[in-house]
Amino acid sequence: MISHRPRRLGPFLLAAAALGAFTGPGAALADGPGYGGTADALTVQWRPHAAAGDGLAVYALGFKGGSPVNLRVGAAAERTVVADAAGALRVLVVSAAATPAPAPTPDTTVLPVTDGSTDRLSSGTSVLAVGTTPAGAMRTLVGSVPPEQAGRGIQDLAWWAAAAAALGAVAFRYRRRGLATVTGVVERLRRRG
Protein backbone atom coordinates (compact mmCIF):
# COMPACT_ATOMS: atom_id res chain seq x y z
CA MET A 1 0.00 0.00 0.00
CA ILE A 2 1.35 3.41 -0.96
CA SER A 3 1.18 6.21 1.58
CA HIS A 4 0.07 9.63 0.35
CA ARG A 5 1.51 11.47 3.31
CA PRO A 6 3.35 14.68 2.35
CA ARG A 7 7.12 14.29 2.54
CA ARG A 8 7.80 17.76 3.90
CA LEU A 9 5.37 17.97 6.81
CA GLY A 10 7.97 19.39 9.23
CA PRO A 11 8.22 22.88 7.68
CA PHE A 12 4.45 23.20 7.73
CA LEU A 13 4.35 22.23 11.40
CA LEU A 14 7.12 24.70 12.15
CA ALA A 15 5.29 27.47 10.29
CA ALA A 16 2.06 26.68 12.17
CA ALA A 17 3.89 26.76 15.51
CA ALA A 18 5.53 30.09 14.66
CA LEU A 19 2.21 31.54 13.56
CA GLY A 20 0.61 30.44 16.81
CA ALA A 21 3.49 31.87 18.84
CA PHE A 22 3.18 35.28 17.22
CA THR A 23 -0.61 35.58 17.07
CA GLY A 24 -1.58 33.89 20.34
CA PRO A 25 -0.39 36.59 22.77
CA GLY A 26 -2.16 39.31 20.79
CA ALA A 27 -5.52 37.70 21.46
CA ALA A 28 -4.67 37.25 25.13
CA LEU A 29 -3.68 40.90 25.54
CA ALA A 30 -6.72 42.39 23.79
CA ASP A 31 -9.29 44.18 25.89
CA GLY A 32 -12.28 41.92 26.34
CA PRO A 33 -15.82 43.22 26.52
CA GLY A 34 -16.45 44.68 29.94
CA TYR A 35 -12.82 44.64 31.01
CA GLY A 36 -11.57 47.62 29.10
CA GLY A 37 -14.70 49.34 27.91
CA THR A 38 -14.29 50.73 24.45
CA ALA A 39 -10.92 49.17 23.75
CA ASP A 40 -9.61 52.05 21.67
CA ALA A 41 -10.82 54.89 23.91
CA LEU A 42 -11.19 53.77 27.55
CA THR A 43 -8.74 51.66 29.51
CA VAL A 44 -9.41 50.58 33.08
CA GLN A 45 -6.61 48.69 34.83
CA TRP A 46 -5.22 48.07 38.28
CA ARG A 47 -2.15 50.16 39.02
CA PRO A 48 0.97 48.49 40.41
CA HIS A 49 0.85 47.73 44.12
CA ALA A 50 1.66 50.70 46.30
CA ALA A 51 1.37 51.63 49.94
CA ALA A 52 -1.78 53.66 49.40
CA GLY A 53 -4.18 50.71 49.11
CA ASP A 54 -6.37 49.91 46.13
CA GLY A 55 -5.78 51.97 43.05
CA LEU A 56 -7.35 51.90 39.61
CA ALA A 57 -5.93 53.72 36.60
CA VAL A 58 -8.51 55.09 34.16
CA TYR A 59 -7.30 56.39 30.79
CA ALA A 60 -9.76 57.90 28.30
CA LEU A 61 -9.31 59.56 24.90
CA GLY A 62 -11.37 61.59 22.48
CA PHE A 63 -12.65 64.47 24.58
CA LYS A 64 -12.34 68.17 23.81
CA GLY A 65 -9.11 69.56 25.25
CA GLY A 66 -9.67 71.36 28.57
CA SER A 67 -13.35 70.39 28.73
CA PRO A 68 -15.03 68.98 31.84
CA VAL A 69 -15.68 65.23 31.82
CA ASN A 70 -18.05 63.56 34.28
CA LEU A 71 -16.55 60.37 35.68
CA ARG A 72 -18.58 57.89 37.68
CA VAL A 73 -17.23 54.73 39.30
CA GLY A 74 -19.88 52.29 40.50
CA ALA A 75 -22.53 53.78 42.78
CA ALA A 76 -20.32 56.71 43.79
CA ALA A 77 -21.40 60.23 42.89
CA GLU A 78 -20.28 61.68 39.57
CA ARG A 79 -17.09 63.70 39.75
CA THR A 80 -16.00 66.29 37.22
CA VAL A 81 -12.48 65.92 35.88
CA VAL A 82 -10.90 68.25 33.32
CA ALA A 83 -9.40 66.69 30.18
CA ASP A 84 -5.85 67.70 29.28
CA ALA A 85 -4.95 69.81 26.24
CA ALA A 86 -4.96 66.73 23.99
CA GLY A 87 -8.42 65.64 25.18
CA ALA A 88 -7.20 62.73 27.28
CA LEU A 89 -8.06 61.76 30.84
CA ARG A 90 -5.60 60.19 33.25
CA VAL A 91 -7.31 59.47 36.54
CA LEU A 92 -6.12 57.43 39.49
CA VAL A 93 -9.17 56.16 41.35
CA VAL A 94 -8.39 55.21 44.95
CA SER A 95 -10.60 53.85 47.68
CA ALA A 96 -11.68 56.57 50.11
CA ALA A 97 -10.58 54.24 52.91
CA ALA A 98 -6.98 54.42 51.66
CA THR A 99 -4.89 56.74 53.79
CA PRO A 100 -3.05 58.78 52.77
CA ALA A 101 -4.16 59.29 49.17
CA PRO A 102 -1.28 59.94 46.78
CA ALA A 103 -0.79 63.53 45.66
CA PRO A 104 -2.02 64.44 42.18
CA THR A 105 0.54 65.12 39.47
CA PRO A 106 0.21 67.62 36.61
CA ASP A 107 -0.97 64.92 34.21
CA THR A 108 -2.92 62.65 36.59
CA THR A 109 -5.96 63.42 38.74
CA VAL A 110 -6.47 61.47 41.96
CA LEU A 111 -10.10 60.67 42.64
CA PRO A 112 -11.09 59.06 45.98
CA VAL A 113 -14.36 57.10 45.78
CA THR A 114 -16.38 54.76 47.97
CA ASP A 115 -18.14 51.84 46.37
CA GLY A 116 -21.06 50.75 48.50
CA SER A 117 -20.64 49.44 52.00
CA THR A 118 -17.28 47.72 51.49
CA ASP A 119 -15.27 50.89 50.78
CA ARG A 120 -13.30 48.84 48.23
CA LEU A 121 -13.21 48.84 44.46
CA SER A 122 -14.49 45.45 43.35
CA SER A 123 -14.22 43.80 39.95
CA GLY A 124 -17.20 44.30 37.69
CA THR A 125 -17.89 47.80 39.02
CA SER A 126 -18.88 50.05 36.13
CA VAL A 127 -16.81 53.05 35.03
CA LEU A 128 -18.61 55.76 33.05
CA ALA A 129 -16.98 58.82 31.42
CA VAL A 130 -19.23 61.40 29.75
CA GLY A 131 -17.95 64.54 28.02
CA THR A 132 -17.89 66.40 24.72
CA THR A 133 -15.82 65.63 21.64
CA PRO A 134 -13.85 68.31 19.78
CA ALA A 135 -16.81 68.52 17.37
CA GLY A 136 -19.20 69.27 20.25
CA ALA A 137 -21.03 65.92 20.31
CA MET A 138 -21.54 63.97 23.53
CA ARG A 139 -19.04 61.14 24.08
CA THR A 140 -19.95 58.35 26.48
CA LEU A 141 -17.39 55.68 27.36
CA VAL A 142 -18.34 52.69 29.48
CA GLY A 143 -16.05 50.09 31.02
CA SER A 144 -15.71 48.08 34.18
CA VAL A 145 -13.14 47.28 36.82
CA PRO A 146 -11.19 44.17 35.80
CA PRO A 147 -10.47 41.37 38.26
CA GLU A 148 -7.25 41.79 40.20
CA GLN A 149 -4.30 39.78 38.98
CA ALA A 150 -3.95 36.61 41.01
CA GLY A 151 -0.53 35.43 39.90
CA ARG A 152 0.44 33.59 36.77
CA GLY A 153 -2.17 32.51 34.25
CA ILE A 154 -2.48 30.39 31.14
CA GLN A 155 -1.11 33.19 28.95
CA ASP A 156 2.25 32.81 30.70
CA LEU A 157 2.45 29.26 29.37
CA ALA A 158 1.74 30.21 25.74
CA TRP A 159 5.39 30.90 24.92
CA TRP A 160 6.49 27.59 26.41
CA ALA A 161 3.80 25.74 24.47
CA ALA A 162 4.94 27.39 21.23
CA ALA A 163 8.56 26.45 21.95
CA ALA A 164 7.52 22.86 22.68
CA ALA A 165 5.54 22.74 19.42
CA ALA A 166 8.53 24.04 17.46
CA LEU A 167 10.84 21.52 19.12
CA GLY A 168 8.31 18.77 18.37
CA ALA A 169 8.18 19.82 14.72
CA VAL A 170 11.96 19.68 14.46
CA ALA A 171 12.03 16.28 16.15
CA PHE A 172 9.30 15.03 13.80
CA ARG A 173 11.27 16.31 10.82
CA TYR A 174 14.40 14.39 11.77
CA ARG A 175 12.84 11.30 13.38
CA ARG A 176 13.21 9.03 10.33
CA ARG A 177 16.67 10.20 9.39
CA GLY A 178 18.17 9.19 12.70
CA LEU A 179 20.91 10.67 14.81
CA ALA A 180 23.52 10.42 12.05
CA THR A 181 21.65 12.95 9.93
CA VAL A 182 21.25 15.36 12.83
CA THR A 183 24.96 15.18 13.63
CA GLY A 184 25.69 15.68 9.94
CA VAL A 185 23.64 18.89 9.96
CA VAL A 186 25.53 20.10 13.03
CA GLU A 187 28.87 19.36 11.34
CA ARG A 188 27.81 21.27 8.20
CA LEU A 189 26.81 24.26 10.34
CA ARG A 190 30.17 24.18 12.13
CA ARG A 191 32.05 24.18 8.81
CA ARG A 192 30.07 27.23 7.59
CA GLY A 193 30.71 29.24 10.77
Tell which wins on pLDDT, 69 or 122.
Answer: 69
Query: In sequence order, which residues have a C-beta less than 8 Å from that of residue 155 and are 6 or more positions away?
Result: 25, 28, 29
Tell which wins on pLDDT, 1 or 125.
Answer: 125
* pLDDT of 2 above 70: no
Render pLDDT for 3-60 as a digit per residue (tens, 0 to 9): 555 567 777 777 888 877 776 655 555 544 444 444 568 888 887 655 445 578 888 9
Predicted pLDDT of residue 102: 61
Tell which wins on pLDDT, 106 or 62.
Answer: 62
Render pLDDT for 104-154 as a digit per residue (tens, 0 to 9): 667 777 777 765 555 567 788 888 999 999 999 999 998 888 887 666 667
Mean pLDDT, residues 144-165 taken together: 78
Q: Give the right CATH number for 42-144 from 2.60.40, 1.20.950, 1.10.3470, 3.30.420.
A: 2.60.40
CA angle 94/96/98 to nearest 5° reads 70
Q: Distance between CA 56 and CA 95 in Å, rounded?
A: 9
* pTM score, whole prediction: 0.56
Q: Any idea where the domains of the chain sit in the sequence?
A: 9-29+152-192, 42-144
**Comparing C-alpha atoms, which of 116, 118, 121 is closest to residue 45?**
121
Tell which wins on pLDDT, 102 or 90.
Answer: 90
Q: How many CB atoms lie within 10 A of CB 69?
A: 22
